[in-house]
């Protein structure tokens, strides 16, 4: 294959194609990069891995033993090998990264691991993929859908942005019946031929604007989210409360016969899933959908209960019902589910005050969802605000905020918004950059909170300025609360 013929080959290449003369460069040796390199090697491609970090020596050694070339350390990504046929990028790499822009300038295809995984199961091992994206609620909805599928007796896995690389699942010996794929905008940016069985866009709000920097950043973010609906074969699931998500369905080039399915926490119209008298009901996937509604679950089956989690449950139900999952399995899946931590998780109740770990709220819209669950709270916020605005959040909830305790590199951004929109709310700004600041946070919060309040760690910001991740931030908060709770010696 010459240069052009290789590119022509890659337009339709799949698991059964001859990859032996393809030189693929994998950009990044993180979790997804490692699995992508492993996947490409399994196809028979020649693989080079490039990463500026030198912390992946163990992974490099394994890949080199499999005949990959690995270049680590500063300057490793400065040059793209001259005979590169394909670049597979890790999702955290911005599209304007020099290595990727050089590839595109040379006409070299750039895929993400999602595109690679899709090719790796075609044409003879294809199974349905249910895709989930949105600014918030992706992980919860993905877990709900996976649990519903398993309750129906299906072999299913939650993969993608949720933590487990999708290529790893494709390489797994487990013969899955379906995959539920959490998809970030970064991952969707590099999708080209993926045709999901069904897909949901949960909501759209400002986030990751540091990634989509420059004019039109939000519009580019939405455009990447919209790619999830392209080529969908069965159902495009949208949020009735956010018309922009329905617009994305209307504008998508879907496979003929694909339907638009709405989800709502209100009474559903035809072709929707929603809530009636404390029940989650289906008016989309029923035999006589014009006149009947099928009970899927009780709202009480959703745990932890919060309005946004009910919406997530409706979206998950729409996805799995598109695969024919019976109503009883929707309810059983919700009851069986044990969500990952740090999302409106109650740490303790002390003297009538509930201490809530919502560290996974890494943008204002996620914090908004948690705030709606509590009538009065001491708010613990701050971190890396990623270019987002807190004005609307504070305007909406200023009457609920007993006090605010602010930490992190962008704490002043939130302090300024509080000053503009809630000047009467007491604000404590902690300048410490040490992750041990949570002891101080909890001490101040215990003094400020009153019986019936919550102390709500819902930062609305990313965590990597002070912590190893949102989970580390939440665990340190919980540890500090438990220390407060422990009897003195």
- CATH code assigned at 463: 3.90.190.20
Pairing of strands 454-457, 377-381: parallel
The mean pLDDT of 443-460, rounded to a whole number, is 95
Q: For residue range 379-402, list pLDDT tens digits in order.
A: 999 999 988 899 999 999 999 999
Q: Report if residue 174 sits inside a domain.
A: yes
Q: Is 360 annotated as a binding residue?
A: no
Flag the least confident range among 251-255, 263-267, 338-342, 451-455: 338-342
Domain boundary among 83, 108, 133: 108
Answer for the pair 411, 429: CB distance below 8 angstroms, yes or no: yes
Q: For residue range 6-52, list pLDDT tens digits in order.
A: 989 999 999 999 999 999 999 999 889 999 999 999 999 999 999 99
pLDDT of residue 489: 37
- Indicate if 332 and 438 belong to the same structural domain: no
Q: Is 139 annotated as a binding residue?
A: yes
* pLDDT over 50 (residue 2): no
pLDDT of residue 486: 58
* pLDDT over 90 (residue 111): yes
Q: Report if residue 488 sits inside a domain.
A: no
Domain boundary among 309, 336, 363: 336
Q: Is 55 annotated as a binding residue?
A: no
Q: Report if residue 316 sits inside a domain.
A: yes
- Indicate if 374 and 402 belong to the same structural domain: yes
Instruction: Work out the pLDDT band at 369, boundaries 50, 70, 90.
Output: confident
Q: Report if residue 9 sits inside a domain.
A: no
Place of tokens 């902690």: 430
* pLDDT over 60 (residue 269): yes
Q: Report if residue 489 sits inside a domain.
A: no
Q: Is 137 annotated as a binding residue?
A: yes
**Does the N-terminal peptide bond of residue 426 adopt cis geometry, omega within 30 degrees of 0?**
no
Q: What is the dihedral of CA 364, 370, 374, 375, to 10 degrees?
A: 30
Domain boundary among 336, 367, 393: 336
- Indicate if 273 and 193 belong to the same structural domain: yes
Instruction: Work out the pLDDT band at 224, boundaries 50, 70, 90.
Output: very high
Would you call 95 exposed, middle or buried from its count of C-beta atoms within 10 A (0-12, 13-18, 19+)? middle
pLDDT of residue 254: 98
Q: Report if residue 327 sits inside a domain.
A: yes
* pLDDT over 70 (residue 207): no
φ/ψ region of 171 (left if φ > 0, alpha if ψ in -120 to 50, else beta) reads alpha
Give the total number of structural domains in the chain. 3
Answer for the pair 45, 22: CB distance below 8 angstroms, yes or no: yes
- Indicate if 161 and 275 belong to the same structural domain: yes
Place of tokens 């996937």: 285
- Indicate if 156 and 269 belong to the same structural domain: yes
> 163: domain range?
118-336
* pLDDT over 80 (residue 208): no
Q: How far apart are CA 160 and CA 444, in angstroms?
A: 39
Residue 401 C-alpha from the chain's centroid: 28
- Indicate if 309 and 361 belong to the same structural domain: no
- Indicate if 247 and 136 belong to the same structural domain: yes
Answer for the pair 322, 285: CB distance below 8 angstroms, yes or no: yes
Q: For residue range 63-101, list pLDDT tens digits in order.
A: 999 999 999 999 999 999 999 999 999 988 888 899 999
pLDDT of residue 209: 60
Q: For residue range 391-450, list pLDDT tens digits in order.
A: 999 999 999 999 999 999 999 999 999 999 999 999 999 998 777 899 999 999 999 999
CATH code at position 76: 3.40.50.720
- Indicate if 80 and 179 belong to the same structural domain: no
- Indicate if 101 and 229 belong to the same structural domain: no
The mean pLDDT of 288-299, rounded to a whole number, is 82
pLDDT of residue 55: 84
- Indicate if 93 and 191 belong to the same structural domain: no
CATH code at position 315: 3.40.1190.10
- Indicate if 332 and 390 belong to the same structural domain: no
pLDDT of residue 259: 97
- Indicate if 369 and 330 belong to the same structural domain: no
Q: For residue range 113-172, list pLDDT tens digits in order.
A: 999 999 999 999 999 999 999 988 898 999 999 999 999 999 999 999 887 899 999 999
Q: Report if residue 361 sits inside a domain.
A: yes
* pLDDT over 50 (residue 488): no
Q: Report if residue 167 sits inside a domain.
A: yes
Average pLDDT over all residues of the chain: 92
Of 340 and 415, the structure prediction assigns the larger pLDDT to 415
Q: Is 362 annotated as a binding residue?
A: no
- CB under 8 Å to 206, separation ≥6 — which residues? 135, 218, 221, 363, 364, 365, 387, 388, 389
* pLDDT over 90 (residue 292): no
Closest-CA residue to 94 (of 168, 173, 187): 187
Answer for the pair 315, 263: CB distance below 8 angstroms, yes or no: yes
The mean pLDDT of 288-309, rounded to a whole number, is 84
Q: How far is CA 415 from CA 161, 399, 407, 437, in A?
A: 31, 16, 10, 18
3-class SS of residue 96: coil
């Amino acid at each position: 294959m010459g240069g052009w013929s290789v590119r022509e080959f890659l337009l339709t290449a799949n698991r059964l194609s001859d990859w032996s003369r393809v030189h693929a460069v994998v950009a990044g040796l993180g979790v997804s990069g490692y699995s992508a390199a492993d996947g490409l090697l399994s196809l028979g491609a020649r693989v080079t891995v490039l990463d500026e970090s030198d912390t992946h020596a163990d992974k490099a050694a394994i890949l080199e033993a499999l005949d990959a070339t690995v270049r680590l350390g500063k300057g490793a990504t400065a040059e793209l090998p001259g005979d590169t046929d394909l670049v597979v990028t890790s999702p955290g790499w911005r599209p304007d990264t020099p290595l990727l822009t050089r590839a595109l300038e040379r006409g070299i295809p750039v895929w993400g691991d999602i595109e690679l995984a899709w090719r790796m199961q075609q044409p003879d091992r294809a199974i349905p993929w249910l895709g989930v994206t949105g600014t918030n609620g992706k992980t919860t909805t993905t877990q709900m859908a996976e649990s519903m599928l398993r309750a129906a007796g299906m072999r299913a896995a939650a993969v993608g942005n949720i933590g487990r690389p999708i290529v790893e699942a494709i390489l797994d010996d487990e013969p899955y019946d379906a995959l539920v794929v959490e998809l970030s905008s970064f991952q969707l940016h590099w999708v080209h031929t993926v045709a999901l069985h069904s897909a949901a866009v949960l909501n759209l709000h400002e986030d990751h604007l540091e990634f989509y920097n420059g004019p039109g950043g939000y519009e580019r973010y939405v455009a990447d989210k919209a790619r999830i609906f392209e080529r969908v074969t069965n159902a495009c699931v949208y949020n009735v409360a956010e018309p922009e998500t329905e617009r994305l369905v209307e504008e998508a080039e879907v496979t003929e016969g694909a339907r638009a399915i709405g989800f709502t926490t209100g009474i559903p119209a035809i072709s929707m899933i929603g809530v009636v008298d404390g029940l989650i009901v289906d008016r989309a996937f029923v035999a006589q959908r014009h006149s009947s509604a099928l009970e899927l679950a009780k709202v009480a089956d959703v745990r932890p209960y919060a309005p946004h989690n009910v919406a997530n449950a409706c979206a998950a139900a729409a996805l799995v019902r598109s695969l024919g999952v019976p109503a009883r399995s929707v309810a059983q899946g919700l009851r069986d589910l044990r969500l990952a931590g740090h999302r409106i998780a109650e740490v303790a109740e002390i003297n009538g005050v509930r201490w809530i770990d919502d560290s996974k709220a890494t943008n204002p819209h996620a914090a908004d969802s948690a705030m709606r669950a509590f009538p009065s709270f001491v708010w613990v916020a701050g971190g890396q605000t990623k270019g987002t605005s807190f004005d609307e959040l504070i305007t909406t909830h200023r009457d609920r905020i007993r006090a605010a305790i602010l930490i992190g590199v962008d704490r002043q951004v939130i302090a300024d918004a509080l000053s503009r929109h809630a000047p009467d709310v007491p604000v404590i700004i902690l300048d410490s950059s040490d992750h041990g600041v949570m002891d101080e946070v909890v001490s101040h919060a215990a003094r400020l909170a009153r019986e019936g309040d919550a102390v709500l760690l819902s930062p609305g910001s990313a965590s990597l300025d002070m912590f190893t991740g949102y989970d580390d931030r939440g665990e340190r908060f919980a540890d500090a609360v438990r220390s407060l709770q422990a009897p003195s010696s």
